[in-house]
A and B are shown apart, each in its own frame.
Chain A
Amino acid sequence: MGVIMTAESAIFVVKTTANQERSVANMITQSARKEHLDIRAILAPDELKGYVLIEAAAPEEVEQAIQTVPHARALVKGQSSIEEISHFLTPKPTVTGISEGAIIEITSGPFKGEKARVKRVDEGHEEITVELFDAVVPIPITIRGDTVRVLRKDEEKNA
């Protein structure tokens, strides 16, 4: 090293064991620091299971960095650009796409598997207030926006 390289960076994709993305990212960082590799940043988005994204100047640097890292399986052929992965950097609120009146199914927590109608959407707190279908008395409950799956967008429109 010593020479200041101004080569443009590209994004390389490394396949990992599922659920080991964060540990792989940490270990690649250590290995890059130890071997003075030109790796600039590592991205492990939760949406991308089984892969980590690495910003580096050349694929050889990435190849060398993952040699000693367990759970890092292979460098995916080819490269990507910053533009293609920039949507990972600005995560959209989890309640996006959930509208009032929509039919949802709760995917975790004590009401897992229950179907409900959305009464209110709180974008700031990323929470939604729903009423369960199977409840005898309609009780509004507030749950997190990422623990639901939308079954039908808007009841009124389809009726």
Chain B
Amino acid sequence: MSEQVCRECHRIINGQTCPICGSSNLSADWSGMVIIIDPERSEIAKKIDVKVPDRYALKVR
């Protein structure tokens, strides 16, 4: 699996650069996956301060 995580915004992405923040500061060493589908009504999204639906990593090294 070549899934990497952007160190800036914690998004799980496929590719060499983060499509949202444009950063190429990626890490393959991450743990814990959160998928936010409905950020408006999700309590989890509020807790981790996420406003865009996407896949995120809880922890990035």
User: Which residues of A are at the interface with B, using a C-beta cutoff of 8 A?
Assistant: 5-6, 9, 21-22, 25-26, 29, 32-33, 38-47, 55, 82, 86, 88-89, 91, 126
Q: How far is B5's CA from A118's CA once the two chains are assembled, in angstroms? A: 31
Residues of A within 8 A of B22 (CB): none
Q: Do A126 and B32 have beta carbons less than 8 Å apart?
A: no
Q: How far is B59's CA from A89's CA once the two chains are assembled, in angstroms? A: 9
Q: How far is B58's CA from A38's CA once the two chains are assembled, in angstroms? A: 23
Q: How far is B23's CA from A16's CA once the two chains are assembled, in angstroms? A: 34
B28 at the interface (CB under 8 A from A): no
Q: Do B32 and A44 have beta carbons less than 8 Å apart?
A: yes
Q: Do B43 and A43 have beta carbons less than 8 Å apart?
A: no
B31 at the interface (CB under 8 A from A): yes
Residues of A within 8 A of B33 (CB): 21-22, 25, 43-44
Q: Do B48 and A89 have beta carbons less than 8 Å apart?
A: yes
> Among residues 13 to 61 in chain B, which have CB atoms less than 8 Å away from a CB atom of chain A?
31-38, 41-45, 47-48, 55, 58-59, 61
